[in-house]
Amino acid sequence: QSVLTQPPSASGTPGQRVTISCSGSSSNIGSNYIYWYQHLPGTAPKLLIHRNNQRPSGLPDRFSGSKSGTSASLAISGLRSEDEADYYCAAWDDSLSGYVFGTGTKVTVL
């Protein structure tokens, strides 16, 4: 089982703002950067946010990340149909000496 906990699902109508939480511990989020990935089935996962709140070049500013203590969140503003996908948080875990992904959140655009 994953050491990073996310809600299984989130939804919103086009144009709305959706927020996804990620809860961890002092050995992962509390002491390392958090990353966010988007994954559509059958495609390559895509990096959305790196080092807590940085967007890769070319990524729309509708996606934003934040971190506080042992928790983090991803916000998607101006929700669009193409945002319907699975979203994962991830961080290095010092206790495990390994990279851990969150449980994943399926975002549905209503």
Q: By CB under 8 A, name the binding residues for other proteins.
A: 2, 32-33, 35, 37, 39, 43-47, 50-51, 56, 86, 88, 90-92, 96-104
The number of beta carbons lying within 10 Å of the beta carbon of residue 78 is 13
Residue with tokens 């989130």: 10
Which is closer to other proteins, CB of 43 or CB of 81? 43
Smallest gap from residue 54 Cβ to other proteins (A): 10
Smallest gap from residue 88 Cβ to other proteins (A): 5
- Judge whether 91 and 97 are in contact, CB under 8 Å: no
